Structure 1
Amino acid sequence: MNVMVGGTFDPLHVGHKVLLSRSFEIAGRDGLVTIGLTSDDFASKKSHPVRPYKVRREELIEWIKSMGFPAGYVVECLSDRFGSALNQDFEALVVSEETFPVAEEINRLRRENEKKKVDIYQIRCILADDGRIVSSTRIHRGEIDPNGHLIR
């Protein structure tokens, strides 16, 4: 199965790893995962600093290789919320609870453009030790580490 997923992935944390792992699981042995990685310009709109695209891409690829997923993958530069998801032929989109509305919008726009609807797989956000969502913003603020453990 051909699957799409997207994000900034900075820093690459436990929530991202669950999202990506689920994407590879859905793709299956002979599938393909297209990972949209936000461009430097698009990522600059975040509320915290983001490392350069090249650094984030290298870290992402290193982690994927370390996991030994059987599906193939490609990393594409994402300059907006949709990337190639509006035009590319694929079967599934994997999102978090926070990005589910974007997935619905992608399907709406695909329908308007006479493209087939894609299946949406939503994962639950991962909670840190304090019961709040693990996020890059919280990590950047020094509240938690990338595994969701509180920093004292």
Structure 2
Amino acid sequence: MFHEGHKALLRKAYEVGEKVIIGLTTDEFVAEMGKPHEVAPYKERLEELLAFILHEGQIHRTEVVAINDPYGPALWDGGFEAIVVSEETAPKAEELNRLRAQRGLRPLELVVIPMVLAEDGKPISTTRIRAGEIDRAGRLLES
């Protein structure tokens, strides 16, 4: 579920990068991840992502790639320079850099953004949205 946290990541990527490559998990990989909530089909998520990119006027700087693992092409493609992550996902990016080093690739610059907080000061997350606690913008919902 595309929310304000995702938008913040992408806006930061467009701020710091010339070209932005976005890895979007395939339905198969999502199934392997064992998420605690339902995840929309790939096609639906792609359409929502592309609508945001078009709205931001960034389609000319963007490539969306389907990924079947936690790292996507950043694991083996030496052309990547940086990765934009949240505080929550920074450890995975550090792991990615260790794996890149094992392959003889230079480390990526880690651009870490803070978690986007809801009205209650807790992070916006798909889990909280699906649970009916908050909406995609982080506004508290009536229980």
- TM normalised by structure 1 equals 0.88
Pick one of 54, 67, 82 that aligns with 2:56. 67
Q: How many residues align?
A: 139
Match of 2:128 among 93, 116, 138: 138
Gaps of 5+ in 2: none
Aligned to 1:99: 89
Q: CA RMSD in A?
A: 1.1
Q: Which consecutive aligned stretches of 4+ in structure 1 deviate over 3 angstroms post-superposition?
A: none
Distance across 1 between alignment mates of 2:69 and 2:21: 15
Amino acid of the structure 2 residue aligned with 1:113:
R
Aligned match of 1:114 = 104
Q: Is structure 2 residue 118 aligned with structure 1 residue 90?
A: no
Q: How big is the shift at 1:105? A: 0.6
Q: Does the CA contact (< 8 Å) of 1:92 and 1:119 recur in 2?
A: yes
What amino acid is the match of 1:120? L
Verify: 1:38 aligned to 2:28, yes or no: no
Separation of aligned partners in 2, 1:20 and 1:92: 13
Structure richer in helix, relative to its length? 2
Q: By percentage of residues, which structure has more strand? A: 1
TM-score (norm 2): 0.94
Hey, what's the Cα distance between the residues in 1 that align with 2:139 and 2:2?
14
Please give the secondary structure, in 2, of the residue aligned with 1:36. Answer: strand
Gaps of 5+ in 1: 1-10
Q: 1:77 corresponds to which residue?
A: 66
